[in-house]
């Protein structure tokens, strides 16, 4: 399965993640600290350079104060808005 980068879905994912972080008033280094990763990790994720499996996404989303379920809803919403 090819690295699903730059597809509508992937762009929507990045957008959803970014909005959530910024909406939480955190900078990459803040989130990084919360999940015990370097800032470059967060940057790569937001850049689509690094992919996240659901478990990882769950950790991040929770660190940002949301549930995975809610995140997915936002994600789907963004997919529809984009296409």
Partner DNA sequence: AAAAGAATATCCCATAATAGGATATTAACA
Partner DNA sequence: TGTTAATATCCTATTATGGGATATTCTTTT
Q: Is 23 in the site for DNA (CB under 7 A)?
A: no
Assess 43 for contact with DNA (CB under 7 A). yes
Q: How many CA atoms lie within 13 A of 3 on its CB side?
A: 7
Q: Determine if 37 is a binding residue for DNA (CB under 7 A).
A: yes
Where along the sequence are the contacts to a second copy (CB under 8 A)?
1, 4, 7, 9-10, 13, 35, 37, 41, 51-59, 68-69, 72-73, 75-76
Report the distance separating Cα 11 and Cα 15, nearest Å. 6
* Residue 28 is a binding residue for DNA (CB under 7 A): yes
Among 6, 19, 23, 49, binds DNA (CB under 7 A): 49
* Terminal-to-terminal C-alpha distance of the chain: 22
Please name which of 66, 63, 71, 67 lies closest in space to residue 30, comparing C-alpha atoms: 63
Nearest distance from C-beta of residue 79 to a second copy, angstroms: 9
Residue among 26 and 71 whose Cβ is closer to a second copy:
71
- CB-based contacts of 11, cutoff 8 Å, min separation 6: 82
């Amino acid at each position: 399965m090819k690295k699903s980068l730059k597809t509508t879905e992937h762009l929507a994912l990045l957008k959803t993640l970014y909005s959530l972080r910024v909406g939480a008033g955190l900078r990459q280094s803040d989130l990084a600290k919360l999940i015990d990763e370097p800032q470059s990790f967060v940057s790569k994720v937001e850049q689509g350079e690094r992919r996240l499996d659901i478990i990882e996404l769950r950790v991040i989303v929770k660190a940002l104060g949301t549930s995975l379920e809610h995140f997915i809803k936002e994600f789907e919403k963004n997919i529809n808005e984009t296409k």
